[in-house]
Chains A and B, each alone.
Chain A
Amino acid sequence: MLSSAAVLLLPGLLASLSACTKPGPAGAEPVTLLNVSYDPTRELYEDFNTTFAKHYEATHDGAKISVKQSHGGSGKQARAVIDGLDADIVTLALAYDVDMLHDKGNLIPKDWQARLPNNSSPYTSTIVFVVRKGNPKNIRDWEDLVQPGVAVITPNPKTSGGARWNYLAAWGHALRKAGNDEAKAQEFVAALFKNVPVLDSGARGSTTTFAERGLGDVLIAWENEALLLTDEVGKDKFEIIVPSDSILAEPPVTIVDKNVDRKGTRAAAEAYLQYLYSDEGQELAAKHHYRPRSEKVAAKYASHFPSVRLFTIDEVFGGWRKAQQTHFDDRGVFDTIYTPKAQ
Chain B
Amino acid sequence: MARRARRILPGFGLSLGLSWLYLGLLVLLPLSGLFLKTFTLTWEHFWETVASPRALAAYQLTFGASVVAALANAVFGLLVAWVLVRYRFPGKSLVDALVDLPFALPTAVAGLTLTSLYASTGWYGRYLEAAGIKVAYSSIGIVVALTFIGLPFVVRTVQPVLEEIDADVEEAAATLGATPWQTFTRIIFPSILPALLSGFTLALARAIGEYGSVVFISGNMPMRTEIVPLLIITKLEQYDYAGATALAVVMLTVSFGLLLAINLLQRWAQRRFEVRPG
Contact = CB atoms under 8 A, between A and B. Distances in A.
Interface string B75-114: 0000000000000000000000000000000000000100
B221 interface: yes
Contacts of B54: 335, 338-339
A328 B238 contact: yes
Interface in A261-275: none
Interface in A208-251: 208, 212-215
Contacts of A198: 137, 219-221
A336 B12 CA distance: 58
B238 A324 contact: yes
Contacts of B221: 197-199, 338
A201 B222 contact: no
B51 interface: no
Contacts of B40: none
A215 B216 contact: no
A159 B233 contact: yes
Contacts of B215: 200-201, 205
Given A199-B221, A201-B220, A212-B116, A75 B237 contact: yes
B243 interface: yes
A323 to B, nearest CB: 12
Given A200-B220, A340-B223, A330 B243 contact: yes
A241 B128 CA distance: 33
A120 B233 CA distance: 28
A339 B116 contact: no
Given A201-B230, A214-B120, A339 B238 contact: no
Contacts of A300: none
A104 B216 CA distance: 30
B237 to A, nearest CB: 4
Contacts of A329: 238
A158 interface: yes
A340 B53 contact: yes
A100 interface: yes
A159 B53 contact: no
B219 A199 contact: yes
A156 interface: yes
The size bracket of the interface on A is: 20 to 34
B220 A75 contact: no
| B54, B219, B230, B236 — most chain A CB neighbours (10 Å) | B219
Nearest to A79: B236
A76 B215 CA distance: 16
Contacts of B233: 159, 201
B253 interface: no
Nearest to A82: B239
Contacts of B119: 213-215
A159 B223 contact: no
Interface of B: 49, 52-54, 112, 115-116, 119-122, 136-137, 215-216, 219-223, 230, 233-240, 243
Interface of A: 73, 75-76, 79, 100, 103-104, 156, 158-160, 197-201, 205, 208, 212-215, 324, 328-330, 335, 338-340
21 contacts: A75-B236, A75-B239, A100-B239, A159-B233, A198-B137, A198-B219, A198-B220, A198-B221, A201-B215, A205-B215, A208-B112, A213-B119, A213-B120, A213-B122, A214-B121, A330-B240, A335-B54, A338-B54, A338-B223, A339-B223, A340-B53
Given A330-B243, A338-B223, A339-B223, 11 more contacts: A75-B236, A103-B239, A158-B234, A159-B220, A159-B237, A198-B220, A198-B221, A199-B219, A201-B230, A324-B238, A339-B222
Q: 7 nearest interchain CB pairs?
A: A338-B222, A198-B219, A213-B119, A158-B234, A75-B237, A199-B220, A214-B121
